[in-house]
Amino acid sequence: MTMLAQSKTEADLFEETHNRASEKSLAAWFDHTSSIHAERTAVTCGSESMTYRELSVAADRVADSLLALSLAPGSIIAIYLDRTLEMVVAMLGVIKAGAAYLPIDPSYPEARVRETIADASPAAVLTDLKRTRLLRGIPTGIYILEELLVTPTYPTAVVEPSADDLAYVIYTSGSTGKPKGVMVTHRNVMRLLSETDRWFGFNETDVWTMFHSFAFDFSVWEMWGALLSGGRLVLVPYEISRSPEDFYALLAHEGVTVLNQTPTAFGLLMQAESRIKARPLALRYVIFGGEALNLRSLLPWFARHGDDAPQLINMYGITETTVHVTYRRIRMADASHEKESLIGEPIPDLAIHLLDEGMKPVADGEVGEICIGGPGVALGYLGRAELTAERFVACDLSERRTRLYRSGDLARRRSDGELVYLGRADRQVKINGFRIELGEIEAVLAECAGVSQACVIAHNDEAAGQRLAAYFVAPVDVEASVVGKFAEERLPAQMRPAFYTRLQALPMNGNGKVDRAALPAPERLAPTAKPQIDLSAATSLEQQIAIIWRHVLQVDNIGHNENFFDAGGSSLLLITLRNTLQTELNVPLPITWLFEHTTIHSLATRLMKESQIAAPEATLPSSRMQQQRDSFARMRSLRGGTR
Q: Tell me the domains of the chain and their CATH numbers.
A: 349-423 (2.30.38.10), 441-518 (3.30.300.30), 535-638 (1.10.1200.10)
- The pTM assigned to this predicted structure is 0.79
Angle at 25 between CA 23 and CA 27, to 5 degrees: 150
* Spatial CB neighbours of 179, under 8 Å, sequence gap ≥ 6: 115, 116, 119, 171, 172, 173, 440
Determine the pLDDT at residue 13.
Answer: 36
Residue 622 has a CB neighbour count (10 Å cut-off) of 9
Angle at 397 between CA 394 and CA 399, to 5 degrees: 110
Q: What is the rounded distance in angstroms from the CA atom of residue 206 to the CA atom of residue 42?
A: 11
Q: Can you name the residues that pair with 76 across neighbouring β-strands? A: 100
Q: What is the rounded distance in angstroms from the CA atom of residue 14 to the CA atom of residue 5?
A: 8
Q: Please, which contacts does 419-428 make with residues 24 or more away whose CB atoms are closer than 8 Å?
A: 419/326, 419/342, 419/343, 419/344, 419/345, 419/352, 420/340, 420/341, 420/342, 420/343, 421/292, 421/316, 421/341, 421/342, 421/343, 422/341, 422/367, 423/292, 425/369, 426/175, 427/175, 428/173, 428/175
Q: Is residue 499 a contact partner of residue 554, using CB atoms and an 8 Å limit? A: no
- Per DSSP, the chain holds a count of helices (H) and strands (E) of 21, 26
The torsion angles phi and psi of 521, rounded to 5 degrees, stand at -60, 135
Determine the pLDDT at residue 512.
Answer: 59
Q: What is the rounded distance in angstroms from the CA atom of residue 581 to the CA atom of residue 245?
A: 14
State which amino acid sits at residue 1.
M
Q: Are strands 258-261 and 48-51 parallel, antiparallel or unpaired?
A: unpaired
| Chain Cα centroid distance, residue 237 | 13
Determine the pLDDT at residue 50.
Answer: 98
Q: Is residue 436 a contact partner of residue 429, using CB atoms and an 8 Å limit? A: yes
Q: Are strands 180-185 and 380-381 parallel, antiparallel or unpaired?
A: antiparallel
Residue spans of the chain under pLDDT 50? 1-19, 527-535, 537, 612-643
